[in-house]
Amino acid sequence: MRWIEKEVKSGERTAKVTHVGRSLGEGLPRLKKPASQSKGMKRASSKVLLVAAVTLSWVCAAIPVPFTPDSTVTTLNTNAPVGFHSELNAALALPANSTMQLGKLISLKQGVFGFQSSLNVLSGTFWVTRPGVYYLSTIIHISTNSSGQSCSIKAAICISDDCKLNASLQGTSHFTEARSTVSASGLLLLEIPQTVKVHIFNYGPGDVVVGAPSSFSAYLLWAV
């Protein structure tokens, strides 16, 4: 076998033909590409790559990107928290076998937090302006004139003055000490235009004093 190289002319172009010769001088020709043709193919390849890059960028731009909240975006009022914490301004006597509404005779004062609250501190009434599930809590501080006196106190967070068990959160305390506390807390589904108040019941037999800082608080957990 031997290598044979010849020049082949076709019009104005000249190319070299290489083939592998056998004993009979026969072989398979291989045509080399002219330099000018290679440059043209490179330019065509560059155009194809450019078109592909533009197409890819357009496809990527068309793919939706998940929205990420920006810290500069102002929170809508409908999504803002609703809640309050209030405390009794001063002590108030509660005679035996009587009932009182927290904040009715002595107003409440702002506690540790409050935002978008519709609490009337002069009456202790919370007006529902946004329906939803609320966490409500009250802690009542009770004192008596002397220890050893038996007392029975109930605190109830009532919806629209309905203090039945199916419409309120209740807590009861039976004690003989000079000081005690009674509390009630839990979740309530509230709707517009309901109101929420804290009622305190003294079942006797003696008088008690509802003292500061007896408190009433609410917080919207889930708007509906």
pLDDT in tens, 130-158: 999 999 999 999 998 766 778 899 999 99
**Poorest-pLDDT segment among 17-21, 174-178, 211-215:** 17-21
Residue 5: pLDDT over 90: no
Q: How far apart are CA 134 and CA 114, in angstroms?
A: 14
Q: How far apart are CA 142 and CA 132, in angstroms?
A: 32
- Residue 131 buriedness (CB in 10 A; 0-12 / 13-18 / 19+): middle
| Region 216-222 average pLDDT | 93
Q: What 3-state DSSP class applies to 161?
A: coil
Give first-to-last CA distance, the chain, whole Å. Answer: 91
pLDDT band, residue 118 (cuts 50/70/90): confident
pLDDT band, residue 165 (cuts 50/70/90): confident
pTM: 0.62
Name the residue type at position 187.
Answer: L
